[in-house]
Amino acid sequence: MTEAVQAQWDNAAEGWDAQASILDAWLSRPTRTMLDLTGIEPGDHVLDIAAGAGEQTMALAQRVGRQGRILATDLSPLLVERLRGNAASAGLSIVEVRVADAQMPLSETDAFDAAICRLGLMLMGSLPCACQPRTQR
């Protein structure tokens, strides 16, 4: 199943990235609300799950600033390559990009202050309980 989903997103990667400005306009308010509700602050280390080509990663980078760190993951290697290029074009050295299946836990989950996932949860059959919610500041 994962291979089929990965192939679907690989096939959609170019079009998804090409529509970034439309996606950003359509999803800017929900993205802002997600970031507000998560309580992300400058300097935070954040896991961006199912990051796609990185529209929400760019908004997240503005929140965490130069002292923050972002690990942006996606199942699709082609979307990850586009995300890597988009982050580099934006001068975002704070963004690490990695191919990862969101349904498989990462070993370094304790290293993050928060995790976000804008559109990926609806596509997942089951999720690990690897991340614990952050305590309120």
**Tens of pLDDT, residues 71-83:** 999 988 988 998 9
The tally of CA atoms less than 13 A away on the side-chain side of residue 51 is 35
Within-domain flag for 130: no
Residue 128 lies in a domain: no
**Residue 98 within any structural domain of the chain:** yes
* Confidence band for 107, pLDDT divided at 50, 70 and 90: confident
More confident residue, 47 or 129: 47
pLDDT tens-digit readout, 41-100: 999 999 998 898 888 899 999 999 999 999 999 988 988 998 999 999 999 999 999 998
Asked if the structure places residue 131 within a domain, the reply is no
Residue 127 lies in a domain: no
Quote the tokens at residue 44.
Answer: 């935070």
Question: 36: exposed, middle or buried (C-beta count within 10 Å: 0-12, 13-18, 19+)?
Answer: exposed
> Sign (positive/negative) of CA torsion 109, 50, 48, 66?
positive
Q: How many domains does the chain have?
A: 1
